[in-house]
Amino acid sequence: MPDPEAPSGNTTASGLRSNSVGTESLIEAEALDLVGTLSAFDECAYVWDLVTDTLQWEDNAASVFGLDGSDDIATGKRFEERIVPEHRTRRFSVVHNGTSCPHDRGVPYRVQYRFHPGPLRGVASIWIEDHGRWWPGKDGKPVKTRGVVRIVNESFVAEQAALFGSDGDEETDTLNRTRLPKAIAAIIERSEQRQTQAAFLIIAVNNLASVNETFGFDIGDELLAATAQIIKSKLRSGDVLGRYSSNKFGVAISNCGPGAMRIAAERFMKAVRQTPIPTSACQLSATVSVGGITIPDHAKSVRQVFSRSLHALEAAKSRRCDSFVSYEDDSDHETSRKHRITIADDIMSALDDNRMRLVLQPIINSKTRKADIYECLLRMQKPDGTIVSAGEFIPFAEQFGLLRLIDKRTLELSVALLRKHPRLSLSLNVSSMTATDQDWLATLLSLSDNDRSLTRRLVLEITETKVIDDIDQAIAFVDTLREMGCRVAIDDFGAGYTSFKNLKHLPVDMVKIDGAFVKNLPVDSSDRIFIKTMVDLAETFGMETVAEWVGDEETADILTKAGITYLQGFHFGQPIPASELPEDL
């Protein structure tokens, strides 16, 4: 009997009108074949009971997955074993770490992952798109899911990522590191236009490193993704959550003053602290530390938002495992930060514009009192001609990871100077970073063109305090330099903690004694004993000695009588610019 509520005219099963009697007859003649339709598109429906871990599949499951039967995927655990390890977190997170909602609606999810099929497909793995809904039990945890999986190809996944995933962090389902600053910029602009306040929180997961070390990075990823979902569940409408770095999230909150910011931070900390996190290894828990700033009171640019919230976060982490600190204007800290930024810019521009300069301090032969070697000391020339000593910028260069660039530039200047002055011998310091840098050694080989007449006039100084960090690596570095014809010295010997037994393992040519044992030599008998001991030890190993910080003739005489090979210090002159070297050197 026709449905009295149906519209006049012929309709298809989907409700669309049809003018074809043949189509209507076909629909009446054949029952809808859902399994057949899904199979045509390499799709299969399922119901997953998470309480019993039972997976019920449509009859076409084996053919879709290329399996001999559906027993291989009859439980959630068996199915997960076929997902490639690096993608298991994706599927686990969308179901177990989703935000709950009313039971009658369910929680939607959609995820793509690689899957190891049965032997019928004969390929290593295939891409699957899995989407459906899960329903929670009384405790809010998922107890049942209904979904559909379908086989997709690589291009589909790439297209989906381009269309929908460009803003998202795949691991935690939050805004990524590229999109988060744009969201903050929009909030800053809106706050300025509407004369309202906003807030930004940096949230760090405190125990992620311990979880990674104990259970592995895959479990750490699960913990991180779960924490993101917990934070997301406590967001207000309009708030923005994004991934800042490996263990940090950023939350941008509109229409939020200092009091509301603190309440929000405490809400996030409490939620994370009180929520058990199920992982594929075991149930874990997490804590977070939070640093916050208000916009525009504390920051008027994206750069200020990040730097000042991170400053607040560091203060929070120094207190206890879950603590919140609001940024406070610290003029000294801000002045120091700006100074560091300025120095970093100066270093890079000086390197780019060839404004690094060498000055040379003579190393005097104690017997002839003539300069046999000159130590290369680096100076930075500013655009206005001002000269900056190494002590003012080298510590910052180390903080910013620029020492390799500086060491390479110093090497280039030194080799050029050696080529210009065939009788000149130079000594230059090598940082601990360079002592492990194969590119630096390759640069030396290239610049010297394996010319022994040049490399034998070069002494490389390695700081003693760094040698003990990796004695085997130091030995290999020294061996390589000596094979190339260079001489090697240990600098600042006595200032660090290298034992005398390590000295015999390092095939160095020279030991430079730290100036702290030299400057008070005329009045300190213990220093004189140390100097004599070092001279005897060096002679035993066939090494030459250099005494630094020689400031007067009396000290020079004591050192000469003790058997020191070379003397270095202001008593023999101030460093001179390399450009002022005599032409006959």
Residue 374 pLDDT exceeds 60: yes
CA atoms within 13 A on the CB side of 312: 27
Burial of 442 (C-beta count, 10 Å sphere; 0-12/13-18/19+): exposed
Q: Tell me which of 432-441, 488-497, 521-530, 554-563 is least confident.
A: 488-497
Euclidean distance between CA atoms 7 and 455, whole angstroms: 96
Q: What average pLDDT does range 276-280 have in this prediction?
A: 88
Chain region(s) in the chain for CATH 3.30.70.270: 168-329
**Residue 239 CB neighbour total at 10 angstroms:** 19
Q: Tell me, what's the pLDDT at 402? A: 87
Burial of 503 (C-beta count, 10 Å sphere; 0-12/13-18/19+): buried
Q: What average pLDDT does range 418-432 have in this prediction?
A: 92
Q: What average pLDDT does range 503-520 have in this prediction?
A: 87
Mean pLDDT (the chain) is 82
CA atoms within 13 A on the CB side of 424: 23
Euclidean distance between CA atoms 147 and 131, whole angstroms: 5
Q: Tell me, what's the pLDDT at 23? A: 39
Euclidean distance between CA atoms 404 and 177, whole angstroms: 28
Residue 115 pLDDT exceeds 90: no
Residue 6 pLDDT exceeds 70: no
Euclidean distance between CA atoms 137 and 150, whole angstroms: 27
Q: Tell me, what's the pLDDT at 576? A: 93
pLDDT tens-digit map of 175-187: 777 788 888 888 8
Of 542 and 98, more confident:
542
Who's near 355: CB < 8 A, 6+ residues apart?
A: 349, 380, 381, 382, 383
Burial of 516 (C-beta count, 10 Å sphere; 0-12/13-18/19+): middle
Euclidean distance between CA atoms 582 and 2, whole angstroms: 112
Query: In terms of Cα–Cα distance, which of 246, 256, 258 is closest to 203?
Result: 246
Chain region(s) in the chain for CATH 3.20.20.450: 351-580
Q: What average pLDDT does range 524-534 have in this prediction?
A: 92
Q: What average pLDDT does range 300-321 have in this prediction?
A: 88
Q: What average pLDDT does range 398-416 have in this prediction?
A: 90
**Runs of H (alpha helix) within 449-524:** 452-455, 464-467, 471-483, 500-505
Answer for the pair 321, 312: CB distance below 8 angstroms, yes or no: no
Percentage of residues of the chain with pLDDT beyond 90: 38
Handedness of CA 158, 163, 169, 171 (dihedral sign): negative
pLDDT tens-digit map of 313-356: 998 988 877 889 999 876 556 677 677 788 888 999 999 999 99
Euclidean distance between CA atoms 369 and 572, whole angstroms: 9
Topology of the domain comprising 34-165: Beta-Lactamase (3.30.450)
Q: Tell me, what's the pLDDT at 15? A: 34
Domain 168-329 bears CATH identifier 3.40.50.620 = no
Chain region(s) in the chain for CATH 3.30.450.20: 34-165
Euclidean distance between CA atoms 223 and 491, whole angstroms: 47
pLDDT tens-digit map of 447-480: 999 899 999 999 999 876 555 556 777 788 889 9
Handedness of CA 535, 570, 351, 446 (dihedral sign): negative
Of 131 and 8, more confident:
131
Q: Tell me, what's the pLDDT at 141? A: 80
In CATH terms, 351-580 corresponds, of 3.20.20.450, 3.40.1390.20, 3.40.50.300, 3.40.50.620, to: 3.20.20.450
Of 501 and 76, more confident:
76
Residue 50 pLDDT exceeds 70: yes
DSSP annotation of 71: G
Burial of 165 (C-beta count, 10 Å sphere; 0-12/13-18/19+): middle
Q: Tell me which of 68-82, 323-337, 368-382 is least confident.
A: 323-337
Q: What average pLDDT does range 414-430 have in this prediction?
A: 94
